[in-house]
Amino acid sequence: METTRVNVRVKKHRDALRMAGLRPVQIWVPDTRRPDFAEECRRQCLLAAQPDTADTSVQQLMDEALADVDGWIE
């Protein structure tokens, strides 16, 4: 009986989202429980950071952006 009420409520919510012009999408994301997850994240981060270390203009841009945060935090 309780499951039926939940199903009705979920259907109503999904119908409202569809009426708002949205549609459901299923995505697959990495499983953070895998034993090799942290090491793979580290590997990919190091790989992604390699071009930044070779390009000093990127580092200069980042430093300038970091220096220009006055007023962002109260």
Question: pLDDT tens across 9-64, in order?
Answer: 999 999 999 999 999 999 999 999 999 999 999 999 999 888 766 778 877 888 88
- Cα dihedral sign for 39, 42, 48, 51? negative
14: helix, coil or strand? helix
Residue written as tokens 């790989």?
Answer: 47
pLDDT band of residue 72 (cuts 50, 70, 90) is confident
Structure tokens belonging to residue 15: 């119908």
Domain coordinates in residue numbering, the chain: 2-67
Residue written as tokens 């009420």?
Answer: 5
pLDDT for residue 21: 96
Provide the H-helix boundaries in the chain: 2-19, 37-54, 56-67
First to last CA, the chain: 51
pLDDT for residue 36: 96
